[in-house]
């Protein structure tokens, strides 16, 4: 009774404006911030139900619209393992967000609770951790989420304040593993494991001053703020934050940030010709995307871009090298490690990166766009590395692999053995597994891993760039009446409907050397996206244009 009353109450406090339609989409609900309160409140209800269903395990809510304009906002839910909410709850999320009135909402919840066997009304507990980015509507929406959570009897909300998206995912994961889960624990883990990585850099590789210098474009978001807080404690690297989110420095994601740099390929606001040659990293507004770049010349604003694919390639190379050292090096203990290493990409990965990874003999697999698909696939391996070209990605390690690694390290604990290359490689993998955020892609931990690997290899930005040469590509968006009329298959690389479209795409593609092209409906915008790749820029452009005409 109490439960019913609370749900009716909260639903009447946040009526759905008519004509409003929310869809959970690729990464939660997103819209103009001021219109989001009903959806965010309902996401609060949803998160609390999810926690009840999972025996009171902590669930997370992040209030952010990532790389989108400052006026937008959004909400997404993190599952107890720190990953995205299980996909089979998404249809319920949609229905709940769009329930037209309090009665409809109540009926939906009661029906769902019954179908899913959620012990609502028993002596259950639920806890929901909340984080938000720096957007002006964040606090208002936080309140809506709290009201939604509190509408579920027994639910307990913990507001963690302003955080990066990956911090919140990390905290949810840590909390449920029973390990320390505060922000300072997160920082300590980053700082300590980064220090350990640098201690394991071979002495002959320690580079010059430029090798230690990094400029970070914080997109005027939360990532820069957090980095400022810890950079003094990161020894062995000299970090300078621009677009740090300080008053007056600029607008969130406006002319800056990972999305801007990756799409426009020009220097973000706040960078100048004086920065030519220095290694730069760019985060997005909630710091779950990372790309690198270098200002190419003093005379124009172009950049040399290192995107998610090349970060992935660097990580893959490093992991593979350590595994090889462990398994091929003769040593006193000479125990080998069996590890299935898998690389996960999407159709947007530059063809040259896929070729590079395959040439290393690695297993490369594809999933549809969206972190939830890549992450899930990566978990199938002992070590799974995934990245989207736009800079979302991380590395995940299986429990089994980590315990093998630990026992290998223990076997080497004797004085004589712990100078061995095998021991060092195992220690590097262990440190990397602690530095990288295994809950979700994290620009802060990701950039520290990049920095540590570059120092380990004694590599400059140029060496990294030259791993392979990107094939020229072009992306276009096409406005159509109904984007859902396009249905894709094979990880979005092929169109299955309308039935003749794939044949037309194949025909166009055959006209180009190294031609590759696919189309897919966007999960976040009302458009169909076209991607084309070929050996020359003009060819990629023209392939994209001609395929776009078939889509229109």
Residue numbers of the site for Zn ion (CB under 5 A)?
66, 284, 286, 288
Give min distance, CB of 360 to ligand 16G, in A.
25
Q: Could you say whether residue 529 binds ligand 16G (CB under 6 A)?
A: yes
Let me know: does 244 contact 224? Beta carbons within 8 Å: yes
Give the residue, chosen from 336, 523, 541, 542, that forms a contact with ligand 16G under the rule CB under 6 A.
523
Give min distance, CB of 306 to ligand 16G, in A.
18
Give min distance, CB of 144 to Zn ion, in A.
21
529 interface partner picked from Zn ion, ligand 16G, none, CB below 5 to 8 A per type: ligand 16G
Closest to 258 measured CA to CA, from 393, 63, 441, 390: 390
286 interface partner picked from ligand 16G, Zn ion, none, CB below 5 to 8 A per type: Zn ion
User: 132 or 529: whose CB is closer to ligand 16G?
Assistant: 529
The total of other beta-carbon atoms located within 10 Å of residue 116's CB is 16
Q: Could you say whether residue 241 binds ligand 16G (CB under 6 A)?
A: no
Q: How far apart are CA 286 and CA 274, in angstroms?
A: 28
Interface with ligand 16G by CB under 6 A: which range of 54-62, 97-105, 384-392, 484-492? 384-392
Give min distance, CB of 434 to ligand 16G, in A.
23
Give the residue, chosen from 522, 541, 542, 545, that forms a contact with ligand 16G under the rule CB under 6 A.
522
**Residue 200: phi, psi to the nearest 5?**
-95, 10
Q: How far apart are CA 261 and CA 284, in angstroms?
A: 10
Secondary structure of residue 311 in the 3-state scheme: helix
53 interface partner picked from Zn ion, ligand 16G, none, CB below 5 to 8 A per type: none
390 interface partner picked from ligand 16G, Zn ion, none, CB below 5 to 8 A per type: ligand 16G
Give min distance, CB of 371 to ligand 16G, in A.
3
Residue 25 CA to its chain's centroid (Å): 15
First and final CA of the chain: distance in angstroms? 53
23 interface partner picked from ligand 16G, Zn ion, none, CB below 5 to 8 A per type: none
Q: Could you say whether residue 369 binds ligand 16G (CB under 6 A)?
A: yes
Structure-token pair, residue 162: 């302003």
User: 64 or 147: whose CB is closer to ligand 16G?
Assistant: 64
Q: How far apart are CA 477 and CA 293, in angstroms?
A: 25
Supply the Cα-derived Rg of the chain in whole angstroms. Answer: 24
User: 78 or 543: whose CB is closer to ligand 16G?
Assistant: 78
Q: Could you say whether residue 69 binds ligand 16G (CB under 6 A)?
A: no
The residues carrying an active-site annotation are: 66
Q: How far apart are CA 294 and CA 480, in angstroms?
A: 37
What is the DSSP code string of 216-265?
A: EE-TTSHHHHHHHHHGGG-TT-EEEEES---TTS--TTTT-SHHHHHHH-
Angstrom CA distances, 270 to 24, 243, 244, 296, stand at 35, 7, 10, 15
Give the residue, chosen from 79, 388, 411, 492, that forms a contact with ligand 16G under the rule CB under 6 A.
388
Structure-token pair, residue 324: 């090889």
**Residue 363: phi, psi to the nearest 5?**
-85, 120
Give min distance, CB of 543 to ligand 16G, in A.
19
User: 211 or 283: whose CB is closer to ligand 16G?
Assistant: 283
Give the residue, chosen from 42, 376, 392, 483, that forms a contact with ligand 16G under the rule CB under 6 A.
392
Let me know: does 16 contact 98? Beta carbons within 8 Å: yes
Closest to 398 measured CA to CA, from 409, 384, 411, 387: 384
Q: How far apart are CA 152 and CA 18, in angstroms?
A: 25
Q: Could you say whether residue 371 binds ligand 16G (CB under 6 A)?
A: yes
27 interface partner picked from ligand 16G, Zn ion, none, CB below 5 to 8 A per type: ligand 16G
Give min distance, CB of 443 to Zn ion, in A.
8
Give min distance, CB of 262 to ligand 16G, in A.
11
Secondary structure of residue 293 in the 3-state scheme: strand
Which residue(s) pair with 293 in the sheet?
A: 280, 305
Give min distance, CB of 502 to ligand 16G, in A.
19
The burial class, CB within 10 Å (0-12 / 13-18 / 19+), for 504 is: middle
User: 275 or 284: whose CB is closer to Zn ion?
Assistant: 284
Q: Could you say whether residue 290 binds ligand 16G (CB under 6 A)?
A: no
Q: Could you say whether residue 515 binds ligand 16G (CB under 6 A)?
A: no
Residue nearest to Zn ion (CB): 66
Q: Which residues 6+ apart lie within 8 Å of 334 measured at CB?
A: 422
Give the residue, chosen from 164, 176, 390, 546, that forms a contact with ligand 16G under the rule CB under 6 A.
390
284 interface partner picked from Zn ion, ligand 16G, none, CB below 5 to 8 A per type: Zn ion
The total of other beta-carbon atoms located within 10 Å of residue 2's CB is 8
Q: How far apart are CA 264 and CA 302, in angstroms?
A: 9
Residue with tokens 């999407």: 346
Query: What's the helix, strand, coil split of the chain in %, to 5?
Result: 45, 20, 35
User: 301 or 522: whose CB is closer to ligand 16G?
Assistant: 522
Q: Could you say whether residue 478 binds ligand 16G (CB under 6 A)?
A: no
Q: Could you say whether residue 30 binds ligand 16G (CB under 6 A)?
A: no
Closest to 500 measured CA to CA, from 550, 434, 440: 550
544 interface partner picked from Zn ion, ligand 16G, none, CB below 5 to 8 A per type: none
Q: Could you say whether residue 524 binds ligand 16G (CB under 6 A)?
A: yes
303 interface partner picked from ligand 16G, Zn ion, none, CB below 5 to 8 A per type: none
Q: Could you say whether residue 26 binds ligand 16G (CB under 6 A)?
A: yes
Site residues (vs ligand 16G, CB under 6 A): 26-27, 66, 369-372, 388, 390, 392, 522-525, 529
């Amino acid at each position: 009774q109490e439960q019913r009353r609370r749900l009716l109450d909260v639903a009447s406090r946040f009526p759905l404006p008519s004509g409003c339609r929310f869809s959970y989409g690729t990464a939660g609900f997103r819209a103009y911030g001021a219109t989001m309160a009903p959806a965010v409140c309902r996401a609060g209800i949803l998160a609390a139900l999810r926690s009840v269903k999972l025996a009171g395990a902590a669930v997370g809510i992040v209030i952010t619209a990532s790389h989108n304009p400052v006026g937008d906002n959004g909400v997404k839910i993190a599952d107890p393992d720190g990953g995205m909410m299980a996909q089979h709850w998404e249809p319920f999320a949609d229905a709940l967000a769009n329930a037209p009135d309090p009665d409809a909402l109540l009926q939906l919840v009661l029906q769902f609770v019954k179908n899913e066997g959620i012990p609502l009304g028993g002596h259950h507990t639920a806890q929901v951790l909340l984080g938000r980015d720096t957007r002006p509507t964040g606090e208002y929406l936080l309140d809506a989420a709290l009201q939604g959570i509190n509408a579920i009897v027994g639910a307990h909300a913990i507001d963690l304040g302003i955080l990066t998206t990956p911090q919140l995912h990390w905290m949810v994961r840590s909390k449920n593993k029973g390990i320390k889960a505060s922000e300072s624990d997160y920082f300590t883990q980053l700082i300590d494991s980064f220090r350990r990585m640098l201690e394991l850099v071979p002495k002959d590789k320690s580079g010059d001053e430029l090798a230690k210098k990094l400029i970070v474009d914080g997109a005027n978001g939360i990532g820069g703020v957090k980095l400022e807080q810890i950079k003094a404690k990161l020894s062995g690297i000299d970090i300078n934050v621009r677009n740090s989110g300080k008053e007056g420095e600029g607008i969130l994601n406006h002319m800056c940030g990972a999305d801007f740099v990756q799409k426009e390929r020009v220097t973000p606001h706040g960078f100048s010709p004086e920065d030519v040659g220095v290694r730069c990293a760019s985060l997005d507004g909630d710091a779950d995307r990372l790309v690198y770049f270098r200002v190419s010349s003093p005379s124009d604003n172009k950049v040399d871009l290192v995107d998610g694919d090349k970060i992935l390639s660097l990580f893959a190379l490093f992991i593979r090298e350590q595994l090889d050292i462990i398994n091929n090096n003769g040593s006193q203990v000479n125990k080998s490690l069996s590890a299935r290493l898998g690389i996960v990409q999407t159709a947007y990965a530059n063809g040259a990166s896929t070729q590079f990874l395959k040439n290393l003999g690695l297993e490369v697999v594809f999933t549809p766009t969206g972190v939830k698909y890549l992450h899930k696939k990566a978990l199938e391996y002992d070590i799974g590395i995934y990245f989207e070209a736009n800079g979302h990605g991380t590395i995940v390690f299986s429990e089994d692999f980590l315990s093998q690694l630990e026992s290998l390290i223990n076997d080497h604990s004797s004085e004589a053995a712990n100078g061995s290359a095998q021991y060092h490689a195992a220690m590097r993998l262990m440190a990397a597994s602690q530095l990288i955020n295994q809950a979700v892609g994290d620009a802060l931990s990701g950039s520290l891993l990049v920095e540590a690997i570059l120092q380990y290899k004694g590599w400059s930005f140029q060496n990294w760039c030259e791993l392979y040469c990107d094939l020229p590509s072009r992306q276009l968006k096409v406005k159509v009446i109904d984007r859902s009329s396009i249905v894709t298959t094979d990880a979005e690389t092929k169109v299955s409907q309308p039935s003749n479209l794939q044949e037309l795409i194949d025909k166009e593609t055959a006209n180009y050397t190294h031609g590759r092209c696919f189309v897919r409906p966007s999960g976040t915008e009302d458009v169909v996206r076209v991607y084309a790749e070929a050996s020359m820029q003009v060819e990629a452009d023209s392939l994209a244009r001609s395929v776009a005409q078939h889509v229109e």
